[in-house]
């Protein structure tokens, strides 16, 4: 059979498939082909007018968006052999512009690195991405373990970072409408909406402390929302989204918590001014938990790294690690296991305890020394000056 005859047969076969069946019933193929030919864009229905509530939500989001930033934490890691330093991403979250000087507020856990639930290290450098998509360097200048707050100085044009308006959390009512803006799962500047579900909640931090008077909301909060603002219907900051009750999938189940703005307004200015909620000087320094684990295999407690001369720690006889000239361990230092009768698990937890319960004139430490646990008492009172000889 030549090519021309084959073409004719194929055409006849296609015609038979698309031809109506006896009795006028179309075939499936003819129906599909007939309706394909009618395909065209649909005419949209008339747009309804937006409600007053919708218009307010749109307006408040547009106003707040430039004050909300994406925070990327950057950890500097040093190779022990080459001593080369590399930067690696350590986490991400949300933050908001606190004042006209470019200070960004976020959660402490956004800029920290943890291993096994214990603080491994705080990052110093972060990257701040503004709502216009431009990124700038930032530095962590203040942290609070007990309140899970961190303050970042952003090195970006100040006119690109309008401060977010703040309200009061003391006058909030259950049932008020709220909006959360953040970067859940890296989806920047996402808006969710809900109500205040409860007030006065106590929520646990990662350092065995509790944040009081927290705001519970059913606005969707997911990983990445941490550090973002919770706004009232007028667009004022009333809280910082901090934690959720998570299921196995670690997504929102409608139970989220925000640190109240009244607490922020008390703690943040002190962190900007001093960097930490400093307790009275005790005169000793400890190794970060990650270093204590890496160098000494210590999994619980804090290894004393140094003791200041003429300090409460030195007068109490606290012993630091001793190293020889080559940097090798000569004598193990004291390991702090307890503070005022409470177990010390990590550096972050210890710092949080000091913030919540500042030391009095006399404090007692449980110390592991030479394989035995002993009590060491530090007096924070200034010693009386000795009379000057004539």
Which residues are known catalytic residues?
109, 148, 226
Q: If DSSP codes are grouped into helix, strand and coil, which group holds residue 228?
A: coil
Which DSSP state fits 11? H
Q: Show Cβ contacts of residue 182 under 8 Å, excluding neighbours closer than 6 positions.
A: 68, 93, 94, 189, 190, 221, 224, 225, 226, 227, 228, 229, 241
Distance CA 64, CA 339 (A): 43
Distance CA 224, CA 136 (A): 19
Instruction: For 65-93, give the secondary structure using H, E and C.
Output: HHHEEEEEEEEEEECCCCCCEEEEEEEEE
Alpha carbons within 13 A on the beta-carbon side of 64: 28
Distance CA 96, CA 195 (A): 21
Q: Where are the alpha helices (DSSP H) in 328-387?
A: 347-356
């Amino acid at each position: 059979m030549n090519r021309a005859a084959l073409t004719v047969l194929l055409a006849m076969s296609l015609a038979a498939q698309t031809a109506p069946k006896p009795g006028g019933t179309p075939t499936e193929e003819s129906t599909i082909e007939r309706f394909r030919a009618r395909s065209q864009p649909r005419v949209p229905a008339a747009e309804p007018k937006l409600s007053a509530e919708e218009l307010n939500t749109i307006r408040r989001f547009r106003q707040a968006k430039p004050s909300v930033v994406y925070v990327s934490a950057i950890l500097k890691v040093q190779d022990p052999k080459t001593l080369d330093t590399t930067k690696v991403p350590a986490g991400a979250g949300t933050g908001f512009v606190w004042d006209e000087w470019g200070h960004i507020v976020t959660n402490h856990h956004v800029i920290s690195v943890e291993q096994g639930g214990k603080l491994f290290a705080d990052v110093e450098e972060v990257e701040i991405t503004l709502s216009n998509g431009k990124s700038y360097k930032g530095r962590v200048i203040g942290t609070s373990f007990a309140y899970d707050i961190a303050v970042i100085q952003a090195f970006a044009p100040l006119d690109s970072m309008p401060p977010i308006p703040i309200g009061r959390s003391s006058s909030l009512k259950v049932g008020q409408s709220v909006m959360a803006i953040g970067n859940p799962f890296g989806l920047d500047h996402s808006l969710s909406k809900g109500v205040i579900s409860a007030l006065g909640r106590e929520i646990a931090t990662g350092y065995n402390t509790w944040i009081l008077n927290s705001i519970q909301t059913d606005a969707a909060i997911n990983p990445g929302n941490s550090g973002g603002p919770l706004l009232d219907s007028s667009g004022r900051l009333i809280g910082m989204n901090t934690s959720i009750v998570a299921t196995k999938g670690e997504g929102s189940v409608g139970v989220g918590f925000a640190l109240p703005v009244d607490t922020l307004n008390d703690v943040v200015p002190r962190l900007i001014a001093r960097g930490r909620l400093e307790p009275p000087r005790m005169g000793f320094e400890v190794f970060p938990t990650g270093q204590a684990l890496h160098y000494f295999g210590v999994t619980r407690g804090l290894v004393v790294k140094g003791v200041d001369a003429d300090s409460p720690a030195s007068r109490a006889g606290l012993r630091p690690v001793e190293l020889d000239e080559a940097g090798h361990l000569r004598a193990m230092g004291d390991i702090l296991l307890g503070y005022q009768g409470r177990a010390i698990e990590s550096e972050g937890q210890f710092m949080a305890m000091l913030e919540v319960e500042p030391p009095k004139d006399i404090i007692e430490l449980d110390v592991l020394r030479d394989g035995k646990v002993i009590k060491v008492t530090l007096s924070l009172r200034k010693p009386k000056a000795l009379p000057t000889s004539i």
